[in-house]
Chain A
Amino acid sequence: MKTKENDIILQTCTKVVLFIIILFSVHSFFAGHYEPGGGFIGGLMTSGALVLLLIAYDKKTVAKILPIDYKIMIAVGLLFAVGTAAGAIFFNVPFLTHAFGHIDLPILGDTSLHTATLFDLGVYLVVIGVTMTIIQTIGEDE
């Protein structure tokens, strides 16, 4: 049946649910240091939200909403991971040594920052990029 489909229930539900999924994925990304979670699960959940968007709408609409080249996203993520690992070399410590500390930020107050979060951000971007590249290349086989 190739007639015009009426997907309004799915599309309206997607508009609400998408933000819940992305919020939860960002939460589990930032909670990764102290609780279960981290870059891999957060990235998979974010790409799950994007796949839901792809199911509810067609591929052109999603490309208009989020004009991202996911192959470049993989490269940026790997650059983050290698960058945080290679930054240790400039301080005369072994490769992949991480630094951390408590820093007083202007609004947020006393915050414990760790360079492992930047490494995790690299993992996050790579996971999103790989998943979305796989799904979009399989999806466009016309």
Chain B
Amino acid sequence: MNEIVNVIIFILIILGAFLNLVAAFGVIRLPDVYTRNHAASKATTLGISAILLATFLYYYLEVGHFNARILLAIVFLFLTSPVSGHLINRAAYYSGVPLWEKSVRDELKTEKKQQL
């Protein structure tokens, strides 16, 4: 039982750290704001949630302390991180940041012309 719990916690922490590393690589490697934001806001949300879940499981199963604040933090991150990504992207689009030159589709363009 104890070993299984340790292995699950180990896997969750490694997975979370790996996802955050992938997100950091995405921010460096991807060509424009929108794809970079896409990498950062998705992968880090899942990565940090995995690390927090591993922390919660460790304190609950090894120490015997039910820490509800960690669960609340996971819910909070899942709610707010995509919304902040959306708001950053929208602000970038409406202030005229160009898309990557190889992008093929921009369906918001007509809408933007009408608003301007």
Does chain B have a CB within 8 A of A66? no
Known contacts A1-B116, A3-B115; A10/B76 CB under 8 A: no
Q: Which of A3, A9, A20, A24 contacts B83 (CB 8 A)?
A: A9
Which chain B residue lies CB-closest to A27?
Answer: B69
Does chain A have a CB within 8 A of B75? yes
Which chain B residue lies CB-closest to A4?
Answer: B115
| B75-109 to A contact mask, C-beta < 8 Å, 1/0 | 11001100100110000001000000000000000
Cβ contact within 8 Å between B79 and A13: yes
Cβ contact within 8 Å between A10 and B87: yes
Task: Give the size range of A's interface with the partner.
Answer: under 10
Q: Is the interface of B mostly helix, strand, loop or mixed?
A: helix
Cβ contact within 8 Å between B76 and A17: yes
| A1-14 to B contact mask, C-beta < 8 Å, 1/0 | 10100000110010
Does chain A have a CB within 8 A of B72? yes
Which chain B residue lies CB-closest to A6?
Answer: B90
What are 17 pairs between A and B in contact, CB < 8 Å?
A: A1-B116, A3-B115, A9-B83, A9-B86, A9-B87, A10-B83, A13-B79, A13-B80, A13-B83, A16-B79, A17-B79, A17-B80, A20-B72, A20-B75, A20-B76, A24-B69, A24-B72
> Which residues of B are at the interface with A, using a C-beta cutoff of 8 A?
69, 72, 75-76, 79-80, 83, 86-87, 94, 115-116
